[in-house]
Copies of this chain bind each other. A is one copy, B any other.
Amino acid sequence: MTQTQTQTAIITPAELLAHWQGHLGLTRRTLELFPEESLFTFTPAPPMRSFGTMTLEILGMIRPTLEGFKNGGEWSTELDYKNVANKAALLEAWDETVAYLAETWPKIPASRLLEEEAAYGFPACSLFHLALYLIDNEIHHRAQGFVYLRLLGIEPPSFYQR
């Protein structure tokens, strides 16, 4: 391993945010394509959940994680979105969360993202790893939504467009 590989960081918080926001945009476009009547009921591969339910998991982790980043050591559980039960309400909650991310992330110092904490039952890791986990989890479930859309005869968005 060259010295620069272990010592020189290359990805800034601003770049990580832009990367995340690109994914959030793609997931929103995926949501928009789901027919209202399928979003919370179509479960072709049990015990896998509906795309609506998986999306609420993605959403429900973002705000508590950002609050943990801000406040340190306080990791509330996933938000409860039981009252979000149709497409319009889901898109509204989505947009509120995306706005909260855009407002909150820039206030978190880079040094804070390098601090290690044990959150959500994971072993202690740098906070930026938690952000990466949330992005990965979103990509993972959105891709499952792509299969659901295809099974419904609907063409998903292009993966490479953000």
A residues within 8 Å of B by Cβ?
Answer: 1-2, 4-14, 16-17, 19, 23, 44-48, 105-111, 113-114, 122, 126, 128-129, 132-133, 136-137, 139-144, 146-148, 150-151, 159-160
Given A1-B14, A4-B110, A106-B1, CB of A140 within 8 Å of CB of B159: yes
Q: List 13 A-B contacts (CB under 8 A).
A: A1-B14, A2-B107, A5-B12, A5-B17, A9-B12, A9-B110, A44-B147, A133-B160, A136-B139, A139-B143, A140-B146, A144-B146, A144-B147
Report how far A146 CA is from B12 CA in the complex, Å: 32
Among B16, B105, B110, B140, the residue within 8 A (CB) of A139 is B140
Given contacts A11-B16, A128-B10, contact A48 B140 (CB under 8 A): no
Which of A46, A109, A143 gathers the greatest number of chain B CB atoms within 10 Å?
A: A143
